[in-house]
Amino acid sequence: MPTACSLRKHPESRSGSAPRLRLSLAAVQLFFVVSLALVLPGRLMAQLTIPPDKDALLKGLGMGLATIADVNSYPGPKHVIGLKTELSLTRDQLKKTEALDKVVSSSAVAKGEEIVLAEEELYKLFEAGTISEKALRLQLEQIGKLRADLRFIHLQAHLRMKQILTSDQIKQYNEIRGRENKLEN
């Protein structure tokens, strides 16, 4: 292998290795680009989550579906449990609230699973290229119904929670949560 000194003494050695080096570098770059072109689309598809709120649906999270109730003095069970000390819940109130939260969570998870399956089915119809306008309409109506059912589960919990708490506790809840006092008599 030529040394730095020998390359200075024999410039023809240097010029002979330069094209080979450029060719090797180009081959490495080409390999890298082709590898990315083959691997990247698969990785991008692996990151696509159908539906985008899949994780929250499968965990039974509220996702803001009942915000309209919360801001209008209808507390949610999960928040009430988190504020049990501040609200001075009785044992009976805590027991009822925890039971309500458990029912909401299990119902929301089950409904979330149904939604994910329906959304995945819609994706598969598009992926297969077999979807028609009629099938699209039917699938979207099913998904819309399931999502409405999920919202009902969360809003219903706020209605029931209001029946468990006293008006003073609701007032205190609103103050803690930074809500305007809109209590009904």
Mean pLDDT, range 116-138, rounded to an integer = 97
Query: What sign results for the dihedral spanned by CA atoms 119, 125, 127, 133?
Result: negative
The closest alpha carbon to 114, from 158, 67, 153, belongs to 153
Dist. CA 126–CA 108, nearest whole Å:
27
Mean pLDDT for all residues in the chain: 85
183 pLDDT above the threshold of 50 = no
168 pLDDT above the threshold of 90 = yes
pTM across the whole model: 0.72
More confident residue, 44 or 55: 55
Q: Is 132 exposed, middle or buried (0-12, 13-18, 19+ CB in 10 A)?
A: exposed
pLDDT at 184: 44
Mean pLDDT, range 88-105, rounded to an integer = 98
Would you say 154 and 65 are in contact if contact means Cβ atoms under 8 Å apart?
A: yes
| Separation in Å, CA 120 to CA 57, 84, 139, 143 | 13, 39, 10, 10
Mean pLDDT, range 1-13, rounded to an integer = 53
175 pLDDT above the threshold of 80 = yes
Mean pLDDT, range 41-45, rounded to an integer = 52
Mean pLDDT, range 162-178, rounded to an integer = 97
